[in-house]
Amino acid sequence: MNTEKLFKLDYNNEHHLKLLHEFEEKEGSFGRIYKKNKTSQNIITEGLFLEENDKIKDVCFIEGEKDIKTCNIFFYPLQERYKNRRLVSLATDYALNILNMQVVVIRPEENDKELISILQDKDFECLGKDNNTIIFLKEKEEIKNIQRKVS
């Protein structure tokens, strides 16, 4: 039986680094270099990954600012296509509920049709195109409700 497990990427954990290296060899480099979690008083930089059968199935990186409660989540464009990338929901929930962000932004490449479709299905708001990416936004439900009352 295959079991997926969600992990917060620990840059001091040799096993995590080995899994990430193997994933990047298969999927290609992400183009971002993440050193140890560079969390300061205000900046959050974390990685999350799904592990299955001792291999990384999917990975993302979260960059956020605590004071404005906003973060960006970056997903690898995967070679293997999934109709439902479970990590999108898990990372969004983690950002909104564990990191206490109010706004989550995801910017898939415009040719990443699968991720775009998943974001649309998960009720992310499309804000339009920016260069070769499309900007999607999700707000915490209570923020949406407050804004509706003000409108």
Residue 48 pLDDT more than 70?
A: yes
N-terminal to C-terminal alpha carbon distance within the chain: 50
CB 62 within 8 A of CB 44: yes
pLDDT the model gives residue 139? 96
**Domains, the chain, with CATH or none:** 5-150 (3.40.630.30)
Q: Read off the pLDDT of residues 72-113 as tens digits, 9 standing for 90 and up.
A: 999 987 766 665 688 999 999 999 999 999 999 999 999 988
pTM reported for the whole predicted model:
0.81
Q: Read off the pLDDT of residues 104-150 as tens digits, 9 standing for 90 and up.
A: 999 999 998 889 999 999 999 999 999 999 999 999 986 555 555 55
Over range 3-21, report the average pLDDT.
Answer: 85
CB 98 within 8 A of CB 90: no
Which value, to the nearest 10 degrees, does the dihedral of the CA atoms of residues 71, 74, 90, 80 take?
A: 170
Alpha carbon distance 75, 107 (integer Å): 9
Confidence of residue 68 (pLDDT cuts 50, 70, 90): very high
